[in-house]
Amino acid sequence: MIETLDAPLQDTLGREAEVASSTALPSDSGHAGAGETAAASLRIGREAIEILQCPGCGGALSVAVDAMQCDACERTYPIADGVPVLVVPEKSLFDIETFTNAEPTFFRPVGKVRELISGCLPDVTLNVSSDKVYARMLQQMLEISEHPTVLVIGGGVIGGGMDCLVDDPRITLIETDAAIAPRTSLVCDGHDLPFADQSVDAVIVQAVLEHVVDPHRCVQQIHRVLKPGGLVYSDTPFMQQVHGRQFDFTRFTRLGHRRLFRMFDEIESGISCGPGTALAWSLRYFLLSFFASDRMRAAVSLASRLMFFPLKYCDRYLVNKASASDAASAFYFYGSRSETPLSDRELVASYHGGF
Ligand SMILES: [Zn+2]
């Protein structure tokens, strides 16, 4: 990882956490023990707690009211407002205190006036595929399990098209993020997912992999935590300008994205945001390039949304055109865990762009 933080975990906590034994997770007996009380105060549910593991060593975690502790390496992880922070600072970009102090990472707070104006303006981005892919995924995950467990990486806010999963009571969503955001129930780093091997039925990683320093390692982690045949949905940009400031590292062509998921069988893939969205982003960022002050950039950004948003509707027409996949804004991949990698010859044979 990029940064190594020197402070030992105990010092960043500033105290020794009071930790219950590993047998004190919520029990079926109905007796409210210390672990049950602790677990009840968490934003994640029992199903998620049962599959957690130490992101440092893979050991079992014990749960207390204000912290979790690894039974193997004795590393302690704080719980901030009901959100466990399962991050190992020396393996991550982030310090524990970033989250316990609720400091912004990816999501930057904006003023109420700007938020109000922004809420009234159309967006320049249109995801033309996610509604139908998520509907298909919902159907297929319910064929795998009556009550599927779905890990959402970067789930601090709801991804476009995900509402059908959020609204379905049969689905257990574990919404994780490296940011304290409205729906974050667990803070973790995608490079070291704190979940047991083969423990979840599906993983969603939408508009996230461009923001991690090592997407290949994150996808290896996704493969590790998925049950055999488990499902993955990934949506990642190709032609998009830098967003998320310093937390933006990589872009993928359609084949680059497919190779990233070479240890998965493809169910379907394609354009999620097309050339219309890509052009709207380009025009917006072209205008933004002329301005340095935050105030002017905010004004130009909002105005450009009003000027360029109609371009995105071209994508409804372009989404199924082969020539558009050389110029798309973003691609999705929907597949299932495999044990056999896609070969690079098969990969290049799957090109079906415009040339
Ligand atoms: Zn450990």
Task: Report percent pLDDT > 70 for the chain.
Answer: 88
* Domains of the chain, start order: 9-94 (no CATH), 112-349 (3.40.50.150)
- So what's the pLDDT on residue 68? 95
**CA 71 to centroid of ligand 1, rounded, Å:** 7
**CA 55 to centroid of ligand 1, rounded, Å:** 7
**CA 212 to centroid of ligand 1, rounded, Å:** 23
Q: For the segment 16-71, what is each residue's pLDDT rounded down to a tens digit?
A: 333 333 323 333 333 334 455 666 688 888 889 999 999 999 999 999 888 999 99
For the chain, the first-to-last Cα distance in angstroms comes to 38
Output the CA angle 209-215-221, nearest 5 degrees. Answer: 105
Average pLDDT over every residue of 237-258 = 95
Alpha helix stretches (DSSP H) within the chain: 9-13, 34-40, 46-50, 96-100, 112-120, 130-144, 163-166, 215-225, 254-260, 275-288, 294-308, 314-318, 344-349
**CA 61 to centroid of ligand 1, rounded, Å:** 8
Length of the chain: 355
In terms of Cα–Cα distance, which of 197, 151, 187 is closest to 172?
151
Q: For the segment 318-333, what is each residue's pLDDT rounded down to a tens digit?
A: 999 989 999 999 999 9
Q: How far apart are CA 302 and CA 297, in angstroms?
A: 8
Q: Grade residue 349 by pLDDT with cuts at 50, 70 and 90.
A: very high
Candidate ranges 84-98, 99-113, 143-157, 249-263; pick with highest mean pLDDT: 249-263
Average pLDDT over every residue of 123-131 = 95
Q: How far apart are CA 168 and CA 171, in angstroms?
A: 6
Mean pLDDT score across all residues of the chain? 87
Q: Report the 3 state secondary structure along 115-132.
A: HHHHHHCCCCCCCCCHHH
Tokens standing for residue 266: 């493809």
**CA 1 to centroid of ligand 1, rounded, Å:** 18
**CA 171 to centroid of ligand 1, rounded, Å:** 29
Q: For the segment 256-289, what is each residue's pLDDT rounded down to a tens digit?
A: 999 999 999 999 999 999 999 999 999 999 999 9
**CA 287 to centroid of ligand 1, rounded, Å:** 49
Helix axes 112-120, 294-308, angle to 10 degrees: 10
The residue that leads in pLDDT, 353 or 296, is 296
**CA 124 to centroid of ligand 1, rounded, Å:** 44
- So what's the pLDDT on residue 35? 54
**CA 104 to centroid of ligand 1, rounded, Å:** 27
**CA 261 to centroid of ligand 1, rounded, Å:** 28
Helix axes 294-308, 275-288, angle to 10 degrees: 150
Q: Grade residue 116 by pLDDT with cuts at 50, 70 and 90.
A: confident
Task: Report percent pLDDT > 90 for the chain.
Answer: 70
**CA 271 to centroid of ligand 1, rounded, Å:** 40
Average pLDDT over every residue of 161-187 = 92
Q: How far apart are CA 202 and CA 233, in angstroms?
A: 8
**CA 62 to centroid of ligand 1, rounded, Å:** 11
- So what's the pLDDT on residue 253? 96
**CA 265 to centroid of ligand 1, rounded, Å:** 32
